[in-house]
Chain A
Amino acid sequence: NAGVTQTPKFQVLKTGQSMTLQCAQDMNHEYMSWYRQDPGMGLRLIHYSVGAGITDQGEVPNGYNVSRSTTEDFPLRLLSAAPSQTSVYFCASSYSNSGGDEQFFGPGTRLTVL
């Protein structure tokens, strides 16, 4: 049982490049989400999904796209990278979005945009 996995662990992009951050979970969780963590700020929600085929925007969605074709996978796409997107990105999953379920976090992807 691997839990939540993320790839890559580190990435450097040039401004304007695009890329996809991968996230997968093997716990059969319905709820998955993406956060970014910046110094001096709490984790901020980018996008989330309550099940396969359903996604919604979080607090800071601009510049990011998501899709959820399967229960297991929830990739995050950066369309045209900007220096403001330099951050650590965490994927998380939980059984539901009820709030009472523990969120399990992946190890994170550290992204630098030059």
Chain B
Amino acid sequence: KNQVEQSPQSLIILEGKNCTLQCNYTVSPFSNLRWYKQDTGRGPVSLTIMTFSENTKSNGRYTATLDADTKQSSLHITASQLSDSASYICVVIRTGGGNKLTFGTGTQLKVEL
């Protein structure tokens, strides 16, 4: 069964600190993986996309890593800001027809002063 598991479920950090969010998946056959940021009351917005051959990709203070062998991805946030408070969703896309996207349940991040 195609599944995406994220950890931790929630996280509270102080402004300026770094954090790492985890994503493990069993989706097959793998095509690519995206991290989305979802602010409260808004729709998800894509942060990064990683294909099978990519190990690391950065978008400003966000850095995603992918280990396709162990089927794990992480999202590292550097020098957190209050505006980083959101839910971060890992989405794994498979090849083939039909519904190709499997969504994780998200990690709820809160950045405090």
Chain A residues within CB distance 8 Å of chain B: 4, 40-45, 48, 56, 58-59, 90, 92, 97, 99-100, 102-103, 105-108
Stretch at the interface among B12-20, B66-74, B76-84, B91-99: B91-99
Instruction: Judge whether A99 and B42 touch: CB under 8 Å.
Output: no
- Cβ 8 A contact of B43, one of A48, A59, A108: A108
**Chain B interface category by residue count:** 20 to 34
B window 86-110: CB within 8 A of A: 89, 93-95, 98-106
Instruction: Give per-residue flags for B43-80: 1 if the beta carbon is below 8 A from chain A beta carbons, else 0.
Output: 11110010100000000000000000000000000000
What's the nearest-Cβ distance from chain A to residue B33, in Å? 10
Instruction: Judge whether B32 and A99 touch: CB under 8 Å.
Output: yes
- Contacts A42-B4, A43-B44, A44-B103 known; list 8 others, CB within 8 Å: A42-B103, A42-B106, A43-B89, A58-B99, A99-B93, A99-B94, A105-B43, A108-B41
Question: Known contacts being A99-B31, A99-B93, A100-B31, is A106 close to B49, with CB within 8 Å?
Answer: no
- Cβ 8 A contact of A42, one of B95, B99, B102: B102
3 A-B pairs closest in CB distance? A105-B43, A42-B103, A99-B93
Q: Which residues of A contact B44 (CB under 8 A)?
A: 43, 90, 105
Q: With CB as the reference atom, state the residue of chain B lying closest to A99.
A: B93
